[in-house]
Structure 1
Amino acid sequence: MLQLDPDASTPLTEQIVASLIAKIEHGVLGAGVRLPSVRGLAQMTKVSPFTVAEAYNRLVAAGWIQSQKSRGYFVAVRGRAAEPSQRAPVDEAWLLSRVYEDNALELQAGGGWLPPDWLYEDGMRAALRQLAKTSGPVLTSYGHPQGLPELRQHLQWRLALRGIEAPAERIVLTHGASQGLDLAIRLLVRPGDAVLIDTPGYSTLIAALQGHGARLLGVPRTTNGPHIPTLAHLAEHEKPVAFFTNSALHNPTGTSTTATTAHQILKLADRHSFRVVEDDPFADLLPYPIPNLAALDGLEQVIYLGSFSKTLSPALRVGYLAANADTIAQATRLKMAAGLTGSTIMESATLAMLTDSHHRTHLDRLRDRLTQAQHRTCERLTELGWSVFHQPASGLFLWAEAPPTLDVDQLTSAAATVGITLAPGHFYHPMGTPTRFFRFNAAWADNSRLYGWLAGQASP
């Protein structure tokens, strides 16, 4: 049925995908035709069943074939595949849902998290084994409204190392940084309020603010942080209630805010009476400390958010919010009204991982790996004709502009058909502004398969 070349540079999975798509497009395999079983095709082509299963998963994800429980795989009823412009759009909703649920999209070149083997799985396993031996409230009771006291006390010490004075009673633990952002939005923003955001900025934040009815005002991101003249103009003329920003290793550009820019932001916040929400989930990935807004401000105007998803494991779903006493009291009430306390088990596991003797070694190794991956990814993308906005010293993300010969929408859709997730730049603009930029996650993107595929797209 298929002719595969085991000596070719193209992986066998991609050969199977391309061959089946060609047969469907040319009518060799018509609508509704049943395909061989995974094991049957594996025997015919003399490859592993896992290779065939991966190819079928990609074809299902791209809409070329359908999987019917207990019956097998069939050519999609639509028959010939739609042209790229007619396919279901790869948009923000797709980014926020499908990339979390579709195992066929296994190369998360534009994703927002680390590969599993880069995370602290050994620490998680040890922490859960330790907790399994305990008894009492940790396993059987609701937690403290503000979160596990011992973890908040540990965070007090960790934040002090960043220059942030935050007593344990001025910290509330959250269900990841996402709940922290939600609490900040509900505390500060009413429908119709003007809100400043980084542009490009965090796509999930943009969706949350739009869902809350905020009027979004973009502040262009520079290599030194937010563009201060634009921020000053908008603050004076639009009367914003808040500015949401990343200071360290910004999502999606990888830039960090300089000390001079940070001081100017706080001066404008004080002059125009808006709050600053400093979303800082990447602080532990910095190879060296940088000034942060919360430390300079003393947590008066600034609400500071952190998370452990980027360094320990996203499965923990533990983050935190630090602020002045009044804000913490309000945030705690909102948290309890929405979902009561957090998980004492996960908060206890987080504390065990943070105080593990191997945690520091894990962080050092993670930073080094990211630094090297950033360097290689920037170098290879540049060789392929991409323009890198800024080469980050570490962290997950970099922001690069596609060569003029490539169609952004077609590139994104074509990548999905071969199991590669790309994140086009319009995801990160509040109005979906067209752009030729893409966000890359260096931990995933530093991959010969991605580089080879991109090189193939650029070829005539």
Structure 2
Amino acid sequence: MMKPLNLNPRDSRPLIEQIVTGVKRRVDERALRSGTRLPSIRRFAETHGVSKFTVVQAFDRLVAMGYLKSRQGSGFYVAGRTESEHPASEACRLERAVDILWLLRNALTEQSHVAMPGAGWLPAGWMDGAGIQRVMRALARKSGNYLTGYGLPAGYEPLRGLLARHMEDRGIVCSARQIITTRGATHALDLITRLFVKPGDAVLVDDPGYYTLFGYLKLSGARLVGVPWTPGGPDTAVMEELIREHRPKVFFTNSLLHNPTGVSISQAAAHRVLQLAERYDLRVVEDDIYGDLQGGHPSRLAALDQLDRVIFVSSFSKTVSASLRVGFLACKYEIAETLTDLKLLTSLTTSEIDERLVYELLTEGHYRKHLEKLRSRLRKSRIEAVRNLEKCGMEVYRENEDGMFIWARRDASENASQLAAHAAQQGIMLAPGALFRPNQEASPWLRFNAAGCENPAIFRLLADAAPRHGDQDTSLYPGFTA
């Protein structure tokens, strides 16, 4: 029989984390032996006064970490933990990133949700599926070794040449030799992390920032140092203090249409970041995965720096197809050579079939028209989503014209993770701000995807969950009950 854990709802740590820590300690101290059956999810939730959702998430994490095993139809049991099966160092490395898995697991089980305003991508219906099918049929009629063989180490050469020309349109002068294709931006970030980040290194990241990147960095053993993100980009005054204190080698930043706040770096902040990079010998990794969704001529770090200290990362996963997994990075040629070797050692080559498909989509001139449609549709969706969020009593961080993300909160003292847990019980996937903090500290903020806010059930839930001051108009969302 398992004795109840001592959970404190007023603790700054989320209840999920308290449960995970408590069960781990019992297992490590042999208070829970291998093969012991834990209470059912419902019984555990009733005993500890928490939601079943909280228990499910905690147990899922413990399974991922190797502490529990799930037996279908029977429940959860303490797993056997011999040294050969679960080396301590491996368990420790997985534990560093396991919190990041929460949103990934939930986001990728789309069929189980009524609505997904917390997702990080555009709906499938917004993408150019017909264009992809057309190009696939054309490629299928062409013979060649690319159908069965490996591609070039750096990637499909015509695509890299075309990408170099596209970079010039962004104000970044480079050659195809400076570009490496990758399996999406995450692959590019992983390669860069492997090359430049060693265990124990301090690494600067946006706070809030990209949670999957945090997972990679934690697995590498890096110490994450968050640079506060402001409406104009990184807080460069704080950034300099952090550089002096921690002496980092790399700064990873999402400069345009920032994930999760949706704002872009100002030109003044961009210049200051590069000045700090020069003064303190810092390398900057600019993740520009959402930049194509922004109109006009925004300030890119790589354009101001011309790939001297900046490594530029982008992808077509957010604008063409997440399934194709075609991304790229651009940097100094000598770094590109080393990263190409690293790509070979860790994954051989990328798919030339996918890269040829993206190349054809770009060369036929359809991509620019597709982007114009996406931007226009997003602008309309943003206006509507912001209006509905504000009517629910939500405070929007900063309203922009372009991009998919809206950063909003109900109350500065609230932990949005609790609201997200409540929403999940209603089949609505929210993205709580804690997931975007480098060390998952509690946050009142939520990230909303404007393209995923079309279901009135979202705003009905937010309005019903908001503190009652007599000014919420829930009649805006008829036909739904929270």
Residue 191 of structure 1 pairs with residue 159 of structure 2:
no
Tell me, in whole angstroms, the C-alpha distance in 2 between the residues paired with 1:168 and 1:327: 13
Q: Is the 8 A contact 2:405 2:450 kept in 1?
A: yes
Task: Tell me which residue corresponds to 2:369.
Answer: 361
1:303 matched to which residue of 2? 311
> Which of residues 122, 130, 149 in structure 1 aligns to 2:138?
130
Tell me how far apart the structure 2 counterparts of residues 249 and 364 of structure 1 sit (CA, whole Å).
Answer: 16
Q: Which amino acid aligns with 2:420?
A: T
Pick aligned residue for 2:51 from 75, 84, 88: 84
In structure 2, the CA distance between the partners of 1:106 and 1:121, relative to structure 1 (3 Å rule), is farther
Amino acid at match of 2:456: S
Q: Kindly tell me: are residues 79 and 243 of structure 1, through their superposed partners in 2, closer, same or farther at Cα, counting changes over 3 Å?
A: closer
Query: CA separation in 1, counterparts of 2:114 and 2:339?
Result: 37
Equivalent residue, structure 2, for 1:164: 172
Aligned to 1:212: 220
Q: Distance in 2 between matches of 1:400 and 1:109?
A: 12
Aligned-partner residue type, residue 313 of structure 1: S
| Aligned with residue 249 of structure 1, among 253, 257, 261 | 257
Residue of structure 1 in register with 2:123 after alignment: 115
SS in 2 for 1:173: strand
Shift of 1:410: 3.2
User: Which residue is equivalent to 1:65?
Assistant: none
- Paired residue for 1:63? none
1:57-456 matched pairs, under 5 angstroms = 78=42, 82=46, 83-84=50-51, 86-89=54-57, 92-403=100-411, 408-456=416-464
Residue 89 of structure 1 aligns with an amino acid whose one-letter code is: Q
Contact 2:416-2:433 within 8 A present in 1 as well: no
Could you say if the C-alpha distance between residues 407 and 174 of structure 1 is closer, same or farther in structure 2, counting changes exceeding 3 Å? Answer: closer
Give the conservation status (yes or no) of the 8 Å contact 1:99–1:105: no
Q: Which amino acid aligns with 1:163?
A: G
**Which range moves more in the overlay, 91-100 or 436-445?**
91-100
Write the distance in 2 (CA, Å) between the matches of 1:176 and 1:97.
19
TM-score (norm 1): 0.80
Report if aligned partners of 1:241, 1:274 keep a CA contact under 8 Å in 2: yes
Aligned residues: 385
Question: Following TM superposition, by how much is the alpha carbon of 1:78 offset from its aligned partner in structure 2, in angstroms?
Answer: 4.2
Please say if residues 389 and 400 of structure 1, whose CA atoms lie closer than 8 Å, have aligned partners that are also in contact: yes
Q: 1:426 to 1:131 in 2, by over 3 A?
A: same
Judge which range, 389-398 or 271-280, deviates more.
Answer: 389-398
Deviation, 1:431, is 1.4
- Residue 33 of structure 2 is matched in structure 1 by none
* 1:271–1:96 distance in 2 versus 1, CA, 3 Å: same
Q: Letter of the 2:393 partner, please give it.
A: G
Shift in alpha-carbon separation, 1:78–1:332, aligned structure 2, 3 A: same
Deviation at 1:409, TM superposition (A): 3.3
Q: Distance in 1 between matches of 2:460 and 2:446?
A: 17
* 1:13-28 mapped onto 2 (5 Å cutoff): none
Q: Note the alpha carbon deviations across 1:138-195, whole angstroms, 9 max, x for none.
A: 2121101000001001101111000011200100000100000001111111111111
Query: How far off its partner does 1:405 sit?
Result: 9.2
Partner secondary structure for residue 314 of structure 1: coil
Counterpart Cα distance in 1 of 2:134 and 2:112: 30
* Deviation readout 1:414-453 (Å, 9 max, x if unpaired): 2112221101000011111111101111110243221122
Do the aligned partners of 1:181 and 1:205 also contact (CA within 8 Å) in 2? yes
* In structure 2, distance between residues paired with 1:407 and 1:84: 15
Report if aligned partners of 1:247, 1:280 keep a CA contact under 8 Å in 2.
Answer: yes
Q: How much has 1:232 moved relative to structure 2?
A: 1.1
How far off is 1:376 after superposition? 1.6
When structure 1 is superposed on structure 2, of 442-451 and 174-183 the one drifting more is: 442-451
The answer to whether the 8 A contact 2:415-2:442 is kept is: no
Q: Secondary structure at the match of 1:103?
A: helix
Q: Which runs of 5+ in 1 are unaligned?
A: 1-75
Alpha-carbon separation, structure 2, partners of 1:79 and 1:96: 27
- Aligned counterparts of 2:413 and 2:241: Cα–Cα separation in 1: 36
Q: CA deviation at 1:300?
A: 1.1
TM score, norm. by length of structure 2: 0.77
How far apart, in 2, do the equivalents of 1:77 and 1:390 lie? 40
CA contact (8 A) 1:123 1:359 kept: no
Map Cα deviations across residues 341-391 of structure 1 (whole Å, 9 max, x no partner): 100100011111122333222110100111111122122111111111111
Match of 1:60 in 2: none
- For structure 2, the residue ranges without an aligned partner over 5 or more in a row are 1-39, 59-98, 469-482
**Distance between the aligned counterparts of 1:246 and 1:407, measured in 2?**
25
Q: Secondary structure at the match of 2:57?
A: coil
Alpha-carbon distance in structure 2 between the residues aligned to 1:233 and 1:97: 36
State the alpha-carbon separation in 2 of the partners of residues 189 and 79 from structure 1.
44
Distance 1:186 1:107, change over 3 A: same
Determine the structure 2 residue equivalent to 1:20.
none
**Aligned-partner residue type, residue 174 of structure 1:** T
* Coordinate RMSD, CA, aligned: 1.9
Residue 212 of structure 1, CA deviation? 0.6
Cα offset for 1:459?
A: 6.7
